[in-house]
Structure 1
Amino acid sequence: MEAQHGNATETVSAVQDATRDEQVLFEPGRLAAPSDGGDGPWSIWSLKQKKIIILAASFASLLSLLSGQIYFPALDTIAKDLHVTDSLVNLSITTYVIIQAIAPTFTAQSSDTAGRRPLYMVCFILYMAANIGLGAQNNYAALLVLRCFQSLGSSGTAALSNAVAADITTSAKHGSYVSYAAAIPMLGPTLGPIIGGLLAQYVAWHSVFWFLWALTGAVAIPMAIFFPETCREIVGDGSIPPPKWNRCYTNVQRERNALKQGKKVPYDKRNELAKSRHIRFPNPFGTIMLLLHRECGFALLYSAILCCSFYATLRGRLLDSNFRRHAKRLGISPENNRQADLADFPIERARLEVVLPTIILGSACIVGFGWTLQYKKNLAGPLILLFVIAFCVSALLNCVACLMLDLYPGKAGTVTASNNLLRCLLGPDATAIVVPMINGIGIGWAVTIFAFLNVAALPLLWYIMKQGPRWRAETLQKKSEKEDAGGRR
């Protein structure tokens, strides 16, 4: 094994010297800065500014989960008012989830080349228009179609927050900032049913959509004015002025201040990046193909399995602490605002080691939760266990999100969409089969089966930690050989 590790290290070193062009930076084996890199800071934004940017993206991501949850309490009222069956109203939930799985495949992938801001603005406009239509209509067909557009707009924003986090932070801080990005959306499952229930009961079910419209305006207007473009293929570390469609007041003010102080504004770099950037219609197969990569697919598969009991809390500081521990062991100094070349770094272990104990604990609590409900002893037991489950299950979700951002630094939006796609495809399946399982074998055994699947699939994580560095080295070697062959021709 030591010999294999040595060979992998030599391979990576050779490839690093031979392949310095921009395309290598988008290979999963490359854990380095994008093309604007160098010895300078990773991002010009201060610590406070980074947190504000991430929290703004997190607020935008809230719309997707909130839109799904706030709708549930109004289902009976909608069915009665529109004179349709409960099954037909439930179909509007199914279509919403389907679009929720597919939409980020296009929006997040487009944001990797067109930029984050234009995609945010398009999603906001589409979402607000859909909510206006939903609030004004009284027809089932209109409800079904407009819910699809609502999902298209809201789920598009959900896939962008992790991409923004990857744009402005290094691998050493991905854990904390991904947690910031995931924090506010988790209010959706908590507050959604409460708000939806109150509005449906005391106002009218149409008011649910007017509330979402007003909330989106409260988020979209400040972001339209102040939220800067962060995509590194457009603005680099943030110092390169963005094109017209990617500009906001923050960018304009920064340019004006620089010109007043007699500083050079790098318009030439903006033009160079524009020439090298090719904006194409997003290819959904690109997102799907990422799932077939060993570096990506196994981790996302386990995340999707665990996501059948999806919850989330903060877990970022422990992730960053484990990253620093491995860096210290290898003699690497992980500066907060400088992105190191991590080709020799065991990034898989640094991200996934953290989650192993909590998966075992969380699975045990899931079993306990099922059986306390089975015997109906006391409500306090299930509630306490749910709290622990939420903490434990969230650990893997954030860890996998961080690992994907580390492995694909130039495709943050696309890989986030891949993660969303797989989870949304498996999640509804689990929801569909759990009720028949409970009716057939009882809730205790049904939940125990899901917990067993979590533990039985754990070897996937061990396999990733063991083989990940070798996979990355092989990917770089194949890329180098392909380029050498092309050069000889």
Structure 2
Amino acid sequence: MSAQDEKDQRPNTAHAIELGPVGENTSHATLAPITQTASTAPPPPYTLLTEKQKIFTIAMASIVGFLAPVSANIYYPAINQLSKDLHVSNSQINLTITTFMIFQGVAPLVTGSVSDYYGRRPTMLVCLISYMAVNIGLSLQDNYIALIVLRTFQSCGSSAISVVGMAVTADVITRGERGKYMIYSSLGTTMGPALGPIIGGILAQFLGWRSIFWFLTIFAGAMIIIILICFPETCRAVVGNGSKPPPKWNRPAIPLLKPTTSDATNDSTPTTKPKRPTPLDSILVALEKETGALIAFTALLYCGYVAVLSSLPSQLEAKYGYNSLQVGLCYIPYGVGSLTSRWTIGRFVDWNFRRHGRRQGFEVVRNRQVDLTDFPVERARLEITLPTVYLGCLFIIGYGWVMNYNISVAGPLVMLFFVAHTISGATSTLITLLIDCHVQRPATATASNTMFRCFLGAGAVAAAVPVIDAIGMGWTATLISVMWVVCSVLLWGILLWGHEYRRKKAGRA
């Protein structure tokens, strides 16, 4: 029985905190009304995984997702070596980067909806096996055409894995505490862009460019072994809250969670699968009003962000004379800033979620997920996101002008830390809201966001250096900031009218 049905059938109810029995590991929380009737059976827990098991599962999925950003960024320090060995120009090698980003947005259209239907484990394993094979080919090839073709397949495999990994968080974490777990769910996508250039620079300088692809091959192989041995299936269309065993072929060798038949833990809600997936599913998601506006702003935020990051190597080389290894080390403030946002912005997101719950007459119920159609989740998320975006605008302007005047390198790096802290935090909360609105198909919604983000990001990377050469880094950063401020009207529209639109769509207005 849903929370709304309980409310309709039992008008004299009170809202209270259900903490569960003493000693039970019920660390995840959401907001829900419960009755005071002692005989009423409590709803089943959202997941049967313990706290440590949840962290392990999310962290492993995030580390697998590390392959997507690291595959793109680890490649940059080897561009000069590749152009010499393959006897082509740097601009021709840059074409492989453009094709990589384009196909990075195409592949998730298929794998996102497939994983929502068949499960996370089989989709991740197929993608990882194909990704590993492609990297072996890349390490052995010595032809420019082969490089383009194989990099295209590499992009498809890595981006597909990333989308599936992000959906795992929605499978095991309730809406009320997703901000708290941003540190684990975003670990791979946060550290990939920061560590990629460093790893690539070291490998290319001491072992040659082929070692980069051998490194990725070994990493993918290790992830395959971990998934086969102990990574659980989490797709709720397949296993519910973990009380329903997946098919035998979709079980790890060492299961973290053994199915139970206890009435207190069984998920009584039928796990009806969505319709069979098609590549159009992710496109149709983006055509919804609220989702479309959310994806549009997230893509624009990413465009400005990636334009700054992609221009950093050329700026550091031109203004400070840095080599590829030194440039890679300068990405460390970006990685640290992105990482720390999970402890600050993530916790503010959860705090605001609970604050709105109390205003609505709801209290915290640990490890319980209910229908929040009548809860203003858009306002709870965006009241934190919007100030964070505006702070990011100020920081990116500061970064642009201190870089423009060629002051001590400490200036741009400090500003880069704050840019990463605010924009990464804002992006994570926007993706969290996107999943909140599509909790039954999180991978499909994430794939839609990835597609538009990568398509626009490819254009931003291509335009960044020419624009900076034309008007300077300071005015480029100012232009990006103005674009974000103007387009933030999309978020204001979601904040003011998104909840009402979602209720009408659900037929509750």
CA distance in 2 between partners of 1:457 and 1:85 (Å)? 38
2:405 maps to: 375
> 1:87 is matched with which residue: 68, 87, 91?
91
CA distance in 2 between partners of 1:81 and 1:144 (Å)? 15
Query: Does structure 2 conserve the Cα–Cα contact (< 8 Å) formed by 1:240 and 1:269?
Result: no
Query: Does structure 2 conserve the Cα–Cα contact (< 8 Å) formed by 1:373 and 1:444?
Result: yes
2:285 maps to: 290
CA distance in 1 between partners of 2:390 and 2:61 (Å)? 32
1:277 Cα deviation after fit:
3.5
Deviates further, 118-127 or 372-381: 372-381
- For residue 390 of structure 1, what is the amino acid of its counterpart? A
1:52 maps to: 56
**Which 4+ residue blocks in structure 1 deviate beyond 3 angstroms?**
250-253, 266-270, 276-280, 310-313
1:379 Cα deviation after fit:
1.6
Q: Which runs of 5+ in 1 are unaligned?
A: 1-11, 19-30, 481-489
> 2:79 is matched with which residue: 64, 75, 79?
75
Query: Does structure 2 conserve the Cα–Cα contact (< 8 Å) formed by 1:291 and 1:297?
Result: yes
Query: Does structure 2 conserve the Cα–Cα contact (< 8 Å) formed by 1:62 and 1:184?
Result: yes
2:203 maps to: 199
1:139 aligns with 2:139: no
Q: 1:186 to 1:253 in 2, by over 3 A?
A: closer
1:324 aligns with 2:319: no
Partner SS for 2:369? coil
2:44 maps to: 40
Q: 1:267 to 1:353 in 2, by over 3 A?
A: closer
Per-residue CA shift, 1:418-455, capped at 9, x if unaligned? 11111111112122222222222222111100011111
Per-residue CA shift, 1:18-45, capped at 9, x if unaligned? 9xxxxxxxxxxxx99xxxx981100000
Query: Does structure 2 conserve the Cα–Cα contact (< 8 Å) formed by 1:178 and 1:401?
Result: no
Query: Does structure 2 conserve the Cα–Cα contact (< 8 Å) formed by 1:179 and 1:398?
Result: no
1:384 Cα deviation after fit:
1.0
CA distance in 2 between partners of 1:126 and 1:143 (Å)? 16
2:153 maps to: 149
1:473 Cα deviation after fit:
1.7
**Percent identity of paired positions between Structure 1 and Structure 2:** 43
Query: Does structure 2 conserve the Cα–Cα contact (< 8 Å) formed by 1:108 and 1:160?
Result: yes
Partner SS for 1:442? helix
Partner SS for 1:142? helix
Query: Does structure 1 conserve the Cα–Cα contact (< 8 Å) formed by 2:63 and 2:187?
Result: no
> 1:240 is matched with which residue: 238, 244, 251?
244
- For residue 165 of structure 1, what is the amino acid of its counterpart? T
2:301 maps to: 306
TM-score where L is the length of structure 1: 0.85
CA distance in 2 between partners of 1:423 and 1:336 (Å)? 34
2:466 maps to: 436
Aligned Cα RMSD in Å? 2.7
Deviates further, 307-316 or 154-163: 307-316
2:426 maps to: 396
1:137 Cα deviation after fit:
1.5
1:269 Cα deviation after fit:
8.9
Q: 1:359 to 1:277 in 2, by over 3 A?
A: closer
1:449 maps to: 479
Q: 1:38 to 1:84 in 2, by over 3 A?
A: farther
Per-residue CA shift, 1:62-113, capped at 9, x if unaligned? 0011111111111111111111222221121111111111111111111000
CA distance in 1 between partners of 2:383 and 2:274 (Å)? 38
1:244 Cα deviation after fit:
2.5
CA distance in 1 between partners of 2:211 and 2:58 (Å)? 29
CA distance in 2 between partners of 1:435 and 1:70 (Å)? 20
CA distance in 2 between partners of 1:252 and 1:323 (Å)? 30
1:477 aligns with 2:477: no
Q: 1:382 to 1:263 in 2, by over 3 A?
A: closer
Partner SS for 1:344? coil
